[in-house]
Structure formats: C-alpha cells, structure tokens
Amino acid sequence: MKATTCSDAAPFPAGTEPPMTPETIKVACSNCNLRELCMPVGLQPAELERIDEIVATRRKVKRREALFHNGERFTSLYAIRTGVFKTCITAEDGRDQVTGFQMAGEIIGLDGIVSEHHTCDAVALEDSEVCVMPFDRIEELSREVTALQRHVHKIMSREIVREHGVMLLLGSMRAEERLAVFLLNLVQRLHARGFSQSELVLRMTREEIGSYLGLKLETVSRTLSKFVEDGIVAVQQRHVRIVDADKLKRIVNPPAC
Amino acid sequence: MKATTCSDAAPFPAGTEPPMTPETIKVACSNCNLRELCMPVGLQPAELERIDEIVATRRKVKRREALFHNGERFTSLYAIRTGVFKTCITAEDGRDQVTGFQMAGEIIGLDGIVSEHHTCDAVALEDSEVCVMPFDRIEELSREVTALQRHVHKIMSREIVREHGVMLLLGSMRAEERLAVFLLNLVQRLHARGFSQSELVLRMTREEIGSYLGLKLETVSRTLSKFVEDGIVAVQQRHVRIVDADKLKRIVNPPAC
DNA sequence: CGCCGCATTGACGTTCGTCAAGTCTAGTGG
DNA sequence: CCACTAGACTTGACGAACGTCAATGCGGCG
C-alpha cells in the first residue's frame, strides 16, 4: 500500500481554475478547496467576493528554494497551497533552529510584521505553491470585513499558542516524548487534510527534525529505531507507518498513576 | 547602593491621576507615562482621545494571584502598569513550563484570542496592576484607527518573534548561554524602563527561571555560582549585579574565530 | 524565636551529544 | 540501462552536560 502524502494524489483536486501561465496567476479564494483551512468560515457572499481581492498572485517555490529570507523586506503573508515549508532562524554564531514545518492551508510570514522585515528563512521542502497576500491589502480589507479581522487575529494567536507548546516540548520533554509529539502532530495535521491517520512521508531530513526538536540527528535516528524495535512504528527511509498509535500516545501521556 | 527594580522607586511616578477607589478606576492612556511602551506613537490628538476608550478599568493583582487561568473565558487583553507577571502552561501530566516573564508596558492575554479561552495561567510575581482592555473594543476601534490596527498586529508579531528566540535558546544553547541570555534580556528591558543597566532584582524563584530556560533549579543555582566565581556577576539572593557585562555577552557570542 | 520556603552544594546517574565507521538511496552522467 | 557519487541515514563507543537525590544553609515572617 502506498502511503498518501501531501504531494501525492491530493484528496482535493489540485487546481480549481483552467490552466494559465505559471507565474502571477489571478486566483480566487472563494472557490479554493483549501478555503476552510485558511479563510474564515460563515462569510456573506458579498464578503467572500471581497476576500478574493486579498490574493494578489500565486508563486511557485521549488524544493530547497526560499520563499523569503531573514532580513528581507516584509510585504506579504503567504498561504500555502501545495507543498511543505520549514521556517528557521540563524543565530550569530551560525547555529540554526527550525521554528516550524508548515503545510497546505497554513500561513507563513507573520514574523515579519513587527519590524517590516522577515526574521527567519522560509524554505520549501518540496516543490510548492503559495498564495501571495500583500499585508497592506489584508489590513485594509480587515477594517471593513469584521470576520477577516477576527480571522487574522486568530491566526496570529494560534501561532503563539503553538509556540507555547513547542516551548513545553523543548523545555521539559525527553527525546522519545519529543519525537512522539512530533509524529502525532504531523499525522493529525495530515489527517485534517484528508490523508491517512497512520501513514506519512517525512518531507524533512533527520537533521531538520532534530533542529526543530532540540536534538541531534543521531538521537532522532536512534529514537526512531527504538520505536521500530518496540513495534510502535514502521520506518522505511522517510516513509513512516504508525503501527500502534496507542503506544505512541502513551509515550506522551503515560497512564495516570 | 540599593538596586533599583521594577517595584522600587519607579523613574516615572506611579500614578497620573488623583487617588480613587481601588477597583474599576476609569483611566486614560493619553496621559499615561507608559504610553510609549504599550501604545502606538505618532497618533493624532483625536485618535489619542479615542484610544482612551480602550481601557475599561484597572485591576490590581496581588503577588501569587492569577490575572487569569488556563481554561478561563477570554475577554480582554491586559497591559501591565506596574509589577511583573509570569505566564505558564501545564501539561496533562502536571509538568509546567513558564512561557514568559512580563513587565510594565507589556501586553498579556494574546494566547486566548484563538479559542476564546486562555490557554495559560498569568500569575503576578509581585503586587501588580494592569489595564483591562476588552478585546471586542480593541477590534472595534482598530477598524477605525489604522495606527491601532497596525499596533495590535505588531504586538502579536513581536510575541511570535520573541518565542522564536526562546526556541533557539531551548533547542540549542547550553546552560551558561541560556542564563546569560536571560540576564541580558532582563536587564535590557529594565533599562528601557529607566532602571539600572547593571543591577536587577529577580522577581522569580530559581525554579521559575529554570522552568523558563529548560533547566532544573539546581542547574540555575550552580550556573549562577559559576558566574560569581568567574567575576561576571555578584549575587545576593535575588539581587544581581552585572560586574562584567562584556564577559556575559561573550558567553552568548563567543569572539569570532 | 522558630518555622518554612528558597537556595546552595556535593555525589552520583542518566540522557543525550560527539566522533567515527559504515550502509543505503536517489540522482547524475556516461 | 547501469555505474558512480554525494547526501542522508544508521549504529556503536565514549564522554560531557545536566538531572536526581540528599544534606545543609540562610532569611524572612508570623
């Protein structure tokens, strides 16, 4: 059985408009099949029409290419249409830290608002496509469409809450717990996008996983191997099948005493 | 010499209005001396007047008391007027993680926007006072006052960027670096509020510092002791004097090779 | 004055990082 | 189509950093 992943046969058809020239395509959120992931729900038809004004263009980003770089001027937020990204910051001494992995329907670029410049790199882990949403347009429209204003606030708040969770993970969990949390989170997000609950393809290297989880790549590899020994997952390179989800959850939440 | 701290003789006089009844005092941002810390700058007089509508009341919070609890319904953001808070989340198994320490002029409660419920506890580390800013009022007004809208976005983005920094710290720094970063950050923020560049009073326990930095309290204590041995700081209980700021900075950023 | 919470310090153990060797796979070019 | 190579991954041996456990010290408050 072939693992379904974000880039393999998507549960939603990939395109909703007829074929066009690759760059600077005019697009509409109103009939985008990812709408329920990245846009507010319960909009009036008139509002929905206005929301379409937000997305200026789409942009394709090839594997290993950056959507934006640290230091670059901030102009837009990006909604991921297809593909997977990592965001990472780099310390002065060269150490870098993956701050997140983002997939279809998720928004990147929020870090740039405060200083008008991006403070991290966003790099595609596979060939990807994003909707470019100029931020001044978002601000303008969210003054008029209350639901959009609320939605923007929620997206930012959600990111803050997510990061709190990562801080808990990095601050107080052991390697096995970190990896278990990571796998469960990934598979849950993929499932929300119509993919398998038990199979996934890692789009990132062991080193990138390690960077995100505050571990060295060898520790990630060893911990995965231990999960395999314990019959919790089956691993073949980047293909992971969760064999015993309960055991995996018990690593995170040991049975109450 | 007595260390100046957030609660000792403040560089700005504590009150800007005549004495009133302790709870539910009507207040004005327009003549608050913390304005440049928590409000947008460059407002028109008319806008400034409208901003005053945001703060509904003030609220005093005693040491160890919570401003809000995890799970509580979210209604308002809070601007700290005096005092210091910690925010912390608790995992199912009881472990908890301090996600930040906040002081005068900083905003807490952003975590609650996404789900309409707070996802962390905010606890005063000393007797404190906050301005209560009902969020629906903020949203309403920020539809009309562009500078406020932009400001709200920046505050949230700033929190996201701050947390990226904490992730870097937790994910890849050693105990000495973490503590050095922590002390430098604290003293820098206090300095921005008119306090000493070299002296501070820790309002939190070693355990709380450890929780924030992903270390055990013993490690915090030992690392502080090492800093004292190395002539970097002088410590007496919670009073810390930075003796050699350069050495402290060199722990974070070792000289380039 | 005595108690209690907080902090310090030491001895020891565990976890994870480091270094190194070796394997596997996907991608490239002949 | 196949051989080659570079990058990714695995595994082992060892060591360092930090956690754990425990004893003790110190200060503030009732």
The verdict on a CB contact (< 8 Å) between A142 and B149 is: yes
Residue found by looking up tokens 């270390």 in the block? B215
CATH code: domain of residue A198: 1.10.10.10
For residue A124, the cross-strand partners are A85
Å between CA of A217 and C1' of C20: 15
A12 with A77, same domain?
yes
Q: Looking at the structure, do residues B20 and B106 belong to the same domain, yes or no?
A: yes
User: Is A162 in the same domain as A180?
Assistant: no
Q: Which of residues 216-235 of B touch strand C (CB under 7 A)?
A: 217-218, 220-222, 224-225, 235
- Residue A26, token pair as written in the block: 């005019």
**Bridge-partner residues for A235, per DSSP?**
A240
A219 touches strand C (CB under 7 A): yes
Q: Do A50 and A83 reside in the same domain of the chain?
A: yes
For residue A24, the model assigns a pLDDT of 45
Residue B214 belongs to some domain of the structure: yes
Residue A7: per-residue pLDDT? 40
Measured CA distances, A96 to A207, A210, B14, B250 (Å): 11, 11, 42, 19
Contacts of B15 (CB under 8 A, 6+ apart): none
A151 and A192 housed in the same domain: no
Residues 6+ apart with CB under 8 A from A211: A88, A96, A97, A98, B171, B172
Q: How far is the CA of B74 from the C1' of C15 (A)?
A: 40
DSSP 8-class letter at B73 = B
Element (H, E) at B114: none
Last residue of a domain, one of B167, B186, B210: B167
Last residue of a domain, one of B122, B140, B167: B167
The reply to whether residue A167 touches residue B97, judged by beta carbons under 8 angstroms, is yes
Residues in chain A with CB shorter than 8 Å from the CB of B158 are 114
Which residue(s) pair with A61 in the sheet?
A128
Contact B164 A89 (CB under 8 A): yes
Q: How many CB pairs under 8 A join A and B?
A: 140
> Is A1 within the bounds of a domain?
no
CATH number at B94 reads 2.60.120.10
Mean pLDDT, all residues of chain A? 89
Residues contacting residue B78 through CB under 8 Å, at least 6 positions apart: B59, B67, B107, B108, B109, B122, B130, B131, B132, B133
Q: Nearest Cα to A126, choosing from A242, A213, A10? A: A10
Closest-lying nucleotide for B172 based on CA to C1': C17
Strand C contact with A218 (CB < 7 A)? yes
SS3 A92: coil
A63, two tokens: 């594997």
Residues of chain A with C-beta less than 8 angstroms from the C-beta of B142: 143, 149
Report B:24-53 residues touching A (Cβ under 8 A): none
Answer yes or no: do B111 and B190 share one domain: no
Give one word for A202, left, alpha or beta, with left for phi > 0 and alpha for psi -120 to 50: beta
Is the Cα dihedral B139, B145, B149, B155 positive or negative? negative
In a domain, B1, yes or no: no
**Measured between CB atoms, which of A110, A172, A212 is closest to B160?**
A110
Q: Are residues B57 and B160 in the same domain?
A: yes
Give yes or no for a contact between B166 and B115, defined as CB atoms under 8 angstroms apart.
no
Contact A163 B161 (CB under 8 A): no
In a domain, B257, yes or no: no
pLDDT along chain A (257 residues), means of 10: 39 41 59 84 85 91 95 97 96 92 97 98 95 96 94 97 98 98 97 95 97 98 97 95 96 77
**pTM of structure:** 0.90
Token readout for A175 is 């390697």
* H or E stretch at A60: strand A57-61
Tell me the H-state helices in B173-257: 175-192, 206-213, 217-229, 245-252
Distance B160 CA to C11 C1' (A): 42
Residues of B in contact with A153 (CB under 8 A): 113, 139, 152, 156
**Nucleotides of D strand lying within 7 Å of any protein CB atom:** 8-13, 17-22, 27-28
Cβ contacts of B114 on chain A, cutoff 8 Å: 154-155, 157-158, 161
Interface residues 208-247 of A with strand D (CB < 7 Å): 217-218, 220-222, 224-225, 235, 237-238
Domain boundary among B120, B146, B167: B167
The answer on A113 and A81 residing in a single domain is yes
**Residue A7: CB less than 7 A from any atom in strand C:** no
Residue A257 belongs to some domain of the structure: no
Query: Does the residue B93 lie in any domain?
Result: yes
Nearest Cα to Cα of residue B167 among A120, A187, A77? A120
> Is the domain of B156 the same as that of B179?
no
Task: Say if residues B110 and B159 touch (Cβ distance below 8 Å).
Answer: yes
Shortest CA to C1' contact from B205: nucleotide: C6
User: At A35, phi and psi to the nearest 5?
Assistant: -50, -45
- Shortest-distance nucleotide from A219 CA to C1': C16
> In the prediction, which pLDDT does A131 show?
95
Residue A132 and residue A35 in one domain: yes
Counting the structural domains of chain A, the total is 2
Please check whether residue A91 touches B, CB under 8 A. Answer: yes
Q: What is the pLDDT along chain B (257 residues), one digit of tens a residue?
A: 334 344 443 344 433 444 444 444 456 788 888 888 888 888 888 888 888 889 989 999 999 999 999 999 999 999 999 999 999 999 988 899 999 999 999 999 999 999 999 999 999 999 999 999 999 999 999 999 999 999 999 999 999 999 999 999 999 999 999 999 999 999 999 999 999 999 999 999 999 999 999 999 999 999 999 999 999 999 999 999 999 999 999 999 877 65
Stretch 132-151 of chain A: residues touching chain B, C-beta under 8 Å = 139, 142-144, 146, 149-150
Mutation pick from B153, B178, B181 vs chain A, by most beta carbons of A within 10 Å, is: B153
Q: Which residues contact A96 (CB under 8 A, 6 or more apart)?
A: A88, A89, A90, A211
Q: Which residues of A touch B253 (CB under 8 A)?
A: 92-93
Assess if residue A14 is contained within a domain. Answer: yes
User: How far is A81 from B207, CA to CA, in rounded Å?
Assistant: 44
| A53 and A94 co-located in one domain | yes
The reply to whether B205 Cβ lies less than 7 angstroms from strand C is yes
Q: Does B110 touch chain A (CB under 8 A)?
A: yes
Which among B251, B242, B97, B228 has a CA at the least distance from the CA of B174? B251
Residues B41 and B138 in one domain: yes
Which residues form the domain of A158?
Answer: 6-167
Mutate which of B95, B111, B114 to disrupt the A interface (most A C-beta within 10 Å)? B114
